[in-house]
A = this chain, B = another copy of it.
């Protein structure tokens, strides 16, 4: 958190085990449930998730909510075209981010490699959002939930015996608002997948994928 190091030479001498002096990053920590930024707030930075999970949301005047994305480690959040953030961003878990000044994206001066990396992140974001358009516009409830689980499996799945397991740090209504449906439909769909022995649920927030191929079939709407 914004520690300035008066003399890197000395620090490197004092910490010889750190083979290569890593670039100085502004790290920031967000406790679970706390906000990183709000919609409409003046945007000064973009953030790279290192640990934890962020939730990006947008709400309509009447309270309807859309979860734009979940920010997992490696994701960059906070892109903005004018001077304001366009979403709320809060932490589902205790989360650490690298703080990049918006100028790091806007201009390569200072750090060309970082500029390129952030630009690539933005372009990747565009293509991920295009995928999500198909999800929201054209897929059935069952396909959406199955696709969602497959994405998480790919992203954060851990081996558990012959199966894959991962946590759902978000609530059912977060999932619903991400997939454009209701919590009840998310539940029913998960229950159905559980009864088909395609997945198992452990204490509500842990998923075990039992039959990946069957889940892929569900995601593609094949029967």
Contact = CB atoms under 8 A, between A and B. Distances in A.
Given A66-B134, A133-B66, A123 B58 contact: no
Stoichiometry, as copies per complex, reads 2
A134 B60 CA distance: 8
Q: Which of A80, A108, A116, A126 has the most CB of B within 10 A?
A: A126
Q: Is the interface of A mostly helix, strand, loop or mixed?
A: helix
Given A64-B138, A66-B138, A106-B116, A122 B133 contact: no
Most buried by B among A58, A80, A134: A134
Given A60-B134, A80-B127, 15 more contacts: A60-B220, A62-B221, A64-B134, A66-B134, A81-B124, A87-B130, A107-B116, A119-B119, A119-B122, A122-B123, A122-B126, A126-B129, A129-B133, A137-B180, A138-B180
